[in-house]
Chain A
Amino acid sequence: MYTASDLRKGLRIMLDDDPYIVVDFQFVKPGKGQSLYRCKLRNLLVGTMMDRTFREVDTFKPAETQEKTMQFLYKEGDHYNFMDTESYEQIHLMEEQIGDAKNFLIENMEVRILLFRERPIDITLPNFVDLVVMEAPPWIKGDTVSGNYKPVILETGYKVAVPPFIEQGEKIRIDTRSGEYLTRVKE
């Protein structure tokens, strides 16, 4: 059982007998007032979004799901095709079910696919993925410690802010939970 203070982005809970994922989460507390947890939730079966505000005393059941390790094969139109690494069975997820994960998916990557009563409904990426920088503005020498950053484009088309010394063709590690740059990967 979860309580409202467990709510965070990415948590999967049961509401009105359907599985939901928290896609946006805001803790609010008017001065002297009670803690409120404002959530934007996505229904994992039908993809619809809803807003709900919970109170400290609210509790939730975790969504009754199973997870399987699968390999990302390829994208075809808005279908993302995966293969179960044990049974070799193939499944697909739709683009809206993939969500932000599309920014970090590359072919052959192993991911966790979430199933609700045998239906694929969601994807969990490894926390860290290494991706190649495809486009980067040049490094202005001397700009190493100032805390400045520059935007680059990765092999998946994802744009991310990195320190100025990162150059085109280099591999960098991304934290898929925050979508932020973590470190340069030396091969």
Chain B
Amino acid sequence: MNTEWKLARRKVALETRAALIQAIREFFISRNYLEVETPQRIPAPAPEAHIDAFPSGQWFLHTSPEICMKRMLAAGYPRIFQVCRCFRKHERGDRHLPEFTMLEWYRAGIDYRGLMEECEELFLFLVGKMRVGTSLEYQGEKIDLEKPWGRISVTEAFHRFAAIPMIASLEQGLFDETLVRDIEPRLGRGKPTFLYDYPASLGALARTKRDDRGLAERFEIYLSGLEIANGFSELTDPDEQQRRFEEENRRRRSAGKVACPLPERFLDSLRHLPESAGIALGVDRIAMIFCDAPSVDGVVAFTPEEL
């Protein structure tokens, strides 16, 4: 009874969520993107140190459609998007569900800076469609979505908000803790923020900067302290990608996790990957923002606990 009542109370949020997904499709279709569907069950996930896939028979449920979508990009599909369910083991909290909805899109001929601009345009399109003006109110905070959004590099953000510099935090193994405690809550206040140029070791599939090999051309978007997307310029060098995957596997093993087999066909396809950028955006998170919901539980029909 309680569960059904909770479900009834979510009606407005679920209607908003549906309208958002509809608007997302309209945005990409109007920009000549092809909507694609790639398998959710795959032989092996991309090796990443801190992302764990659920086994499904001898295969796995994908943790993101990245590998398959990049093979499409390499095969001559220059603008593609997908809205799909993704699965990640052990992820459950106010902002996490082990099964969640991801929007990913990839575009040839741009880098991460071009992609940042497209993100700004996507959000302005969405607020237009949802008829909420050019600003949103989330948990009592007004967020202005007019371009340009804030841009701050990871190095600068550590300098401004944290007690230790970025490099030192990496060396001491405190990068994640510092980011979560001191930096994230300060980002996206009043206006969305792009946090960009991550340490290369934290962007396993991202291209490094031409003038600084220690940094990856990767960014995250924050709204009101909430991280909603991760995008980057795509790494197109198969040898470099293989080395990065091997490094991720080494970190998995040292944390007592199983290594993932290397996705050979994906690595082969990188030879043909054009200069491009791609991004994963949490649909549940943007639904939280548009629904003014403090927790992801408020914007899905069922949480795992309610099944």
Contact digits for B213-240, partner A, Cβ 8 Å, 1 yes 0 no: 0000000100000010010000000000
**Bound complex: CA A87 to CA B51 (Å):** 53
Give the shortest distance, in Å, between A38 (CB) and chain B (any CB).
8
Say yes or no: is A109 at the interface (Cβ < 8 Å to chain B).
no
Choose one: B5, B91, B179, B256; the contact of A35 (CB below 8 Å): B91
Query: Is the C-beta of B75 less than 8 angstroms from some C-beta in chain A?
Result: no
Q: Which residue of chain B is the closest to A175 with respect to CB atoms?
A: B2
B217 CB to nearest A CB, Å: 14
Contacting pair A30 B180 (CB below 8 A): yes
Interface residues of B in 181-234 (CB under 8 A from A): 181, 184, 202-204, 220, 227, 230
Separation of A163 and B177 alpha carbons in the complex (Å): 41
- Pairwise interchain contact B91-A29, C-beta atoms closer than 8 A: yes
Residue in contact with B179 in the complex, picked from A33, A145, A146, A175, CB distance below 8 Å: A33
**B8 in contact (CB, < 8 A):** yes
Q: Is the CB of B256 within 8 A of A57?
A: yes
Closest Cβ of chain A: how far from B237's Cβ, in Å?
19
The chain A residue with its CB closest to the CB of B230 is A31
Does A183 interact with chain B (Cβ within 8 Å)?
A: yes
Report yes or no: A27 in contact with B91, Cβ–Cβ below 8 A. yes
| Contact residues in A for B181 (Cβ distance below 8 Å) | 53
- Name the A residues within 8 Å of B202 (CB-CB): 32-33
- In this complex, what residue of A is CB-closest to B50? A34
Q: A27-B96, A149-B9 are in contact. Are A32 and B2 (CB under 8 A)?
A: no
Q: B10: CB under 8 A from chain A? A: yes
Of all chain B residues, the one with the shortest Cβ separation from A51 is B181
Q: Is B255 on the interface with A (CB-CB < 8 A)?
A: yes
Is the Cβ of B50 less than 8 Å from the Cβ of A57? no
Contact A29 B50 (CB under 8 A): yes
Cβ of A142 under 8 Å from chain B: no
B171 at the interface (CB under 8 A from A): no
Verify B180–A28 contact, CB threshold 8 A: yes
Report Cα–Cα, A53/B181, bound state, in Å.
9
Encoded as 1 (CB less than 8 Å from any B CB) or 0, chain A from 16 to 43 comes to 0000000000111111111110100000
A149 nearest in chain B by CB position? B9
A57 touches B5 (CB 8 A): no
Whether, in the assembled complex, B90 has its beta carbon less than 8 Å from a beta carbon of chain A, the answer is yes
Q: Is B93 an interface residue (CB 8 A)?
A: yes
Q: Given the complex of chains A and B, what is the CA–CA distance between A147 and B7 in angstroms?
A: 8
B163 at the interface (CB under 8 A from A): no
Shortest distance from the beta carbon of B139 to any chain A beta carbon, whole Å: 15
For the complex, what is the distance from the CA of A66 to the CA of B93, rounded to whole Å? 30
**Is B95 in contact with chain A by the CB < 8 A criterion?**
yes
A103 is an interface residue with CB less than 8 A from chain B: no
* Chain A positions 28-76 with a Cβ under 8 Å from a chain B Cβ: 28-36, 38, 53, 56-57
Tell whether, in the assembled complex, residue A35 and residue B184 are in contact, meaning their CB atoms are under 8 Å apart.
no
Chain B 45-82 near chain A by CB (<8 Å), digits 1 or 0: 00011110000000000000000000000000000000
Given contacts A29-B96, A147-B11, A175-B2, contact A36 B177 (CB under 8 A): yes
A180 within 8 A of B: yes
Q: Which residues of B contact A (CB under 8 A)?
A: 1-2, 5, 8-12, 48-51, 90-96, 175-177, 179-181, 184, 202-204, 220, 227, 230, 255-256
Excluding A27-B96, A175-B2, 9 further A-B contacts by CB distance (< 8 Å) are A27-B91, A28-B180, A29-B96, A31-B220, A33-B202, A34-B176, A149-B9, A181-B2, A182-B2
Give residues in A with beta carbon < 8 Å to B.
Answer: 5, 26-36, 38, 53, 56-57, 145-149, 163, 175, 180-183
Q: List 17 A-B contacts (CB under 8 A).
A: A27-B91, A29-B50, A29-B93, A30-B220, A30-B227, A31-B230, A32-B48, A34-B49, A36-B177, A38-B180, A53-B177, A57-B255, A146-B11, A147-B12, A163-B5, A180-B2, A181-B2
